[in-house]
Structure 1
């Protein structure tokens, strides 16, 4: 028997005996370190030449048996699913060419889900690039059918080729998985960092979540967390397993320390919006819940718990809709509430950002759009929040920010700067203040015009924020004092590295504003000629790490002395001083 026929015989036996199985690799939130979901990865029989999924799927494709193997892999993924609760997601791989297979009949996956107690809202179809998508209009039509049922879509290997970018533009997925080639050593490779920064920016605009694949080192995890990537996957966090994975406490701590939090000194976590909510044990009889809702007309719903952990939600309107009808009361009256509750409500941790919760809540189906959001602390119920409260909170914060922000850059102005400094002083914890000032900005404005001057101011605001995102901590602050003066307040352990990053970014991009023009000298504010290559950045770093109280005046005086020293030096530079 030839090697080829022997391989075919083994493959056919695997399909006949359904002897493949699934392992599951965790996908972790870079907001709180919790397990967001699992990617199901198929494996052939142990000891077989097809134990490796790569060998098995490549052979199936050559034999024209890819559909039947993927169908079996999907069924095994669902059958062995290790999801711990209904908020977790199961990522199932589907190659793009299978979408066009005439055997790819809608409804088959749904049957298997129901058989094992799952629902479409638990499943993400991950489109892999074993071959590129040829007919996007047909693919969109097929995937839209699945979206309407509640499934979500992910594009795999983004950044590994041109076709994945086209797939993102055409299919508008819910998730983008960033290829390992962009993740490996990202903490030492600025080009990769800038590419991922770009992914983060456009993902925010399109309301898409990013998943970084292939993380193997803590430095990679820190960098991705600081950049604002939403989720992470890789051997560092957890290897593929047949059992649920617990994220190591050290990795959760890193995520908490470096996570990116929007806003400065304002209410931006969902826990701040938690309000008390009526609670029923899951074995409470329906008649008791009905009695409560009839007597309390203001109650919009109730949370269903098991040992203080939320397991479901019962909204008033949906509750009474189910009890309407000729025989409804007699059928349901003495049953327990868990038989009719919504067992997949939106449950979020108290530290999750309000805007992130808003995106999750408003992406639900229209039937659930106004359901309460359940808020937990370490898995235990702390309260709920309504969609109205969430949207009002976001609106109020944005209005407050707009009222006192600098109109040119949108950064917090002097009122918020003073609030932030006072807050840091009262906390009595180490922090650092970086004052930034542009040298020869008046000369630039006079030579190139105020419009270009405004663009340079906006550019400076951008590089300050980018440097904080990369080298700072989640609750760091950037403000616009006015004109060409800025301030950053940081708790980073490496303030000098932060200053170096600001200077590097500024000097790297400022040349673009000159559009190739040349000059022999610039002029200072007094009109005196000064030999210089153009606008530079002077930074004053005030290190506030003492135990004794300090004042705003001390910080200001120290910064003024450092600024004078920096401006006497040619080129971009920073000077620092510890005021203790």
Structure 2
């Protein structure tokens, strides 16, 4: 069977260059896709993932550097080699191209023989690296490590999630590798969908190999993603078992030593590490720490995730009991924007929570003294009282000493003020209702079931 011809996307605002390169590439046996603007180039690459991108630096709407960055930040195109064309000969321009994620550079005017050699070299190197998993279509381990290295070098905040299926070998042995592949594809799909829903555009999803996956996200999104992936996996995985095994609740099999065992139905364990907890020297240190957290999570039954908190307290494992949404939690919401408060009330009541709205801080304080709610949401826009004074007064109440407080504001600088006022989380307005629900769910799940001793309170889920 003949090998599929490579598809090469060419983006240049000069129609003469486009037609020249199309004729040239087709003469070499390649398939050419053409774009005259940066925006169209990004969309075309996402819809028809090419094997190589040839990208002009100077284009209208969006220049080549930004196109390169967007392609690198999308898991669908992050592995695609990029060759940049430019009339600039300055070293700074070339460095900017490499910094944005380009793999090679050709200066205009160029010789077709040189361009041919560079195209062939990039395509050969890409095939040799095998950067994308053929099973899930996700970027592989090499690109995942590169993403971590990139964020470490730039000093960007990140969280790394290391996900692994528990009891996968027993399932694979019982049903065969084809159904085992179904389980791996299912988890990969759930992770990708969850990150698209709850993460940010720059998040990275990779398939490390086998039943192991990795996610690079922002620290404030990590736990919401963990909880949603676990929830969806636990709800979906039963469909892959035979009815009798599912009803029984376990598989019969043998361990590596040939000893018969009853293996529980598959669950997942997730190790979570974040740059806000410690400084990492390299991706290997991140990987080792996440592996330790994942193994720690495996000590507990069911699907769990373990969060590295060393440097301030032992790892925190979120088990199904802590993760589950508390029925009929009471939520008090206070602020000056009636429309916003109404939307929050509608969304929270959909989740089965009881919501009380307060226009003034004095009313909220009085209500909390009588019956402390499970969680308080404070809008920085308050009638009369200072939200910072109100937050401290709420925290001073015995019944709210360890209950979560979420603060909402349009001012990014209020994030630091919120935590000085002892709020547990901060959301920057405007935000999506999905983000709000995820943050509130996370705060409720992590709130202690008892009156903890000093220092037991968990971290926050701050984010926009």
The two structures have a TM-score, normalised by structure 2, of 0.41
Larger radius of gyration: 1
